[in-house]
Amino acid sequence: MLVFEKITDLRAQIREWRAEGQRVALVPTLGNLHGGHQSLMETARGICERVVVSIFVNPTQFGPDEDFQKYPGNSEVDVEKLLSTGVDAVFMPDADEMYPEGFSTSIDVGNIGKILCGQSRTGHFSGVATVVAKLFNIVMPDKAYFGQKDYQQSVIIRKLVRELNFDIEIISCPIIREPDGLAMSSRNAYLSEEERTAATVLSKMLKRGEELIKHHGVSDPVAVGKEMMKIIDSEPLATPDYIEIIDPDTLESVSTIESPVVLCIAARVGATRLIDNMVLGEG
Amino acid sequence: MLVFEKITDLRAQIREWRAEGQRVALVPTLGNLHGGHQSLMETARGICERVVVSIFVNPTQFGPDEDFQKYPGNSEVDVEKLLSTGVDAVFMPDADEMYPEGFSTSIDVGNIGKILCGQSRTGHFSGVATVVAKLFNIVMPDKAYFGQKDYQQSVIIRKLVRELNFDIEIISCPIIREPDGLAMSSRNAYLSEEERTAATVLSKMLKRGEELIKHHGVSDPVAVGKEMMKIIDSEPLATPDYIEIIDPDTLESVSTIESPVVLCIAARVGATRLIDNMVLGEG
């Protein structure tokens, strides 16, 4: 596995692969790799001849009061994991390589980045869009892989690709869960033992919503939301940020549940903000 | 010469050229082609095997009170001119092709887009950066050619390329002037006969600035500006928007003229806003 810290070095290697007609996949990550990332890499590996993983804790997607400084990461452990997964290259730039002095460009994705997680995380999706555009231009992958746990992010990336005309196929991969239902996330590392147990409340809420919609035919999103809320209300360590039932493409709240919807939750468990979601009625 | 209106068709052609190892040049224009554009195309032609010209009057770079609706253009005449220049393809999308319904992505280039022309043309450079990023992703050229008449624009495009990591070389080509010194511009078509004569005031101001700096060794930008101002003050049809002596890279006003500078002017001649500039002291 090749390790690159400099853009020009990575580019030179990718140019060689392209010249040989090999397809290149990009799996962008913030490191602290878990089973969710693993699944992205394996999916990529099955389709593209070359898989590039980026590990970059992007400062511009963290707000001033957020956890940028303490974001969990250990690049040696990550590199170990990548070695056993069999990716071709890892790109681990430092912040100066990505944001040299005087850097001032940013991409705004419009209202879709200001709702849901964007409401409490001001500027987050602009930071994501900007760094992803940079990674796309650096790697110029044929396909890029994103986890569906960050549902809003994956819709925004698709919109970014469509609207800025990147010639890249975006693949969203299903959420990978712990045996008790908790969606895998680097931020799970923040949870104390009690919080870790309490955190299962998110997936329980989604299951309850699914049950009401799929098995009981409830079509009123307010009624479903209320029932989901009851579950989190019974968990003293957890406080909801939002519970929304949204259109899968526009991310707008639906007024009635008839076509495919996504149940989306953000909640704090202790001091840790977690998100989870479930797509219903598709395929 | 191939004419494309659809992104997918243009892309398919460019992919073929790339597969054959041919280098592709992009010359982005707003149409109403003149000698300045001609010079960009000829320069591109001398270096790249394939030259693509885009003609798109980009609505997002015009302010609400600007001349988008009446921007001079005649695509048939433009296509005639391109035929005789020998470019390989022209890309003439309509607005829906570039900005489908729901489009909401925009690129902000920071303070460098808010000074000089950005001060009176709010949002202009964000519109430019966004459409240029789209064209870059559509054409994926090896090199892209811009006229130095839009000096601020060319610095901003270079910054955009650097900061978003486009793998594209930006070539700035010298200003092409009419025999009496007026910089060629599509907007010259707006000028009445009297205004056309009055418009030479811009290049006269630059020549006066050059004379003071190069031949008289004046290093005080305020003194130079005052002398330039005298010239436009003597022309009743012209009113200055700004006269600035700036650093070629940062575009910030210099406090003393010692290293290379750019003299930049924007002025109204009648109702028409014209710009001109001169780089002094470079290799």
Interface with chain A: mutation pick from B109, B137, B252, highest number of A CBs within 10 Å: B137
Residue of B nearest to A101 (CA): B163
Q: pLDDT digit of tens for each residue in chain A (283 aa)?
A: 999 999 999 999 999 999 999 999 999 999 999 999 999 999 999 999 999 999 999 999 999 889 999 998 888 999 999 999 989 999 999 999 999 999 999 999 999 999 999 999 999 999 999 999 999 999 999 999 999 999 999 999 999 999 999 999 999 999 999 999 999 999 999 999 999 999 999 999 999 999 999 999 999 999 999 999 999 999 999 999 999 999 999 999 999 999 999 999 999 999 999 999 999 997 4
Give me the amino acid identity at B262. Answer: V
Contact residues, chain B, for A112 at CB < 8 Å = 104
Tell me the catalytic residues of A. Answer: 37
- The predicted structure's pLDDT at residue B283: 47
Predicted confidence (pLDDT) per residue in B152-181, tens digit: 999 999 999 999 999 999 999 999 999 999
Residue contact B134–A165, C-beta within 8 A: yes
pLDDT for B86: 86
Q: Residue A270: its pLDDT value, please? A: 97
Q: Which fold has domain B2-173?
A: Rossmann fold (3.40.50)
- Is A267 in contact with A202 (CB distance < 8 Å)? yes
Give dist(CA B140, CA A168) in Å, integer: 12
Q: Are strands B238-246 and B261-269 parallel, antiparallel or unpaired?
A: antiparallel
How many Å lie between the alpha carbon of B108 and the closest alpha carbon of chain A?
5
Written as one letter, the residue type at A187 is R
What is the model's pLDDT at position B225? 98
CATH class label, B186-276:
alpha beta
Q: Starting from the edge strand earliest in sequence, which strands make up the sheet with B261-269, in order? A: B238-246, B261-269, B272-280
Residue A86 confidence (pLDDT): 86
Instruction: Determine the 3-state secondary structure of A109 from DSSP.
Output: coil
Q: Whole-angstrom Cα distance, residue A24 to residue A197?
A: 39
| CA-atom Rg of chain A in angstroms | 19
- Write out chain A residues lying below 8 Å of B167, CB-based: 11, 137, 140
A20: nearest CA in chain B?
B19
**Confidence at residue A283, expressed as pLDDT on a 0 to 100 scale:** 46
Q: A12 to chain B, minimum CA–CA distance in Å? A: 11
Which residue among B105, B138, B165 sits closest to A107, beta carbon to beta carbon? B105
**pLDDT score, position B269:** 98
Task: Measure the CA–CA gap between A82 and A267, rounded to whole angstroms.
Answer: 30
Interface test with B, best of A15, A159, A165 (most B CBs within 10 A): A165
Could you give the CA distance from residue A203 to residue A278 in angstroms, rounded to a whole number?
Answer: 9
CA distance linking residue B129 with residue B150, whole number of Å: 13
Residues of B89-106 as b/e, b for ≥16 C-beta within 10 angstroms? bbbbbeeebbbeeebebb
| Residue among B106, B133, B165 minimizing CB distance to A138 | B165
Structural tokens at position A192? 């104390």
| Residue ranges in chain B whose pLDDT is less than 70 | 283
Please enumerate in sequence order all residues whose Cβ is within 8 A of that of B30, keeping only pairs 6 or more positions apart, or say none: B55, B56, B57, B58, B71, B73, B186
Inter-chain touch A137–B111, beta carbons under 8 Å? no
A107–B159 C-beta distance less than 8 A: no
Hey, where are the domains in chain B?
2-173, 186-276
pLDDT score, position B16: 97
Tokens encoding A52? 């590039």
Give the closest-approach CA distance of A100 to chain B in angstroms.
8
Q: Find the chain A residues whose C-beta atoms sit closer than 8 A to any C-beta of B.
A: 7, 11, 100, 103-112, 129-130, 133-134, 137-138, 140, 159-160, 162-167
Please name the residues in contact with A155: beta carbons below 8 A apart, sequence gap of 6 or more: A112, A248, A249, A251
Of B11, B107, B159, the CB nearest to A167: B11
- Which of B7, B112, B137 has its CB closest to that of A104? B112
For residue B282, which phi and psi values (nearest 5 degrees)? -100, 140
Q: Which residues of B lie closer than 8 Å to A, measured between beta carbons?
A: 7, 11, 100, 103-112, 129-130, 133-134, 137-138, 140, 159-160, 162-167
User: What separation in angstroms does the CA of B271 have from each of A42, B123, B189, B191, B199?
Assistant: 62, 20, 12, 8, 12
Q: Are B103 and B58 in contact (CB under 8 A)?
A: no
Rounded to whole angstroms, how far apart are CA atoms B2 and A234? Answer: 66
Q: Is B163 in Cβ contact with A104 (below 8 Å)?
A: yes
* CA of residue B6 relative to chain centroid, distance: 24
Residues of chain B found within 8 Å of residue A14, distances taken between Cβ atoms: none
- Spatial distance between the Cα atoms of B264 and B251, rounded to a whole number of angstroms: 10
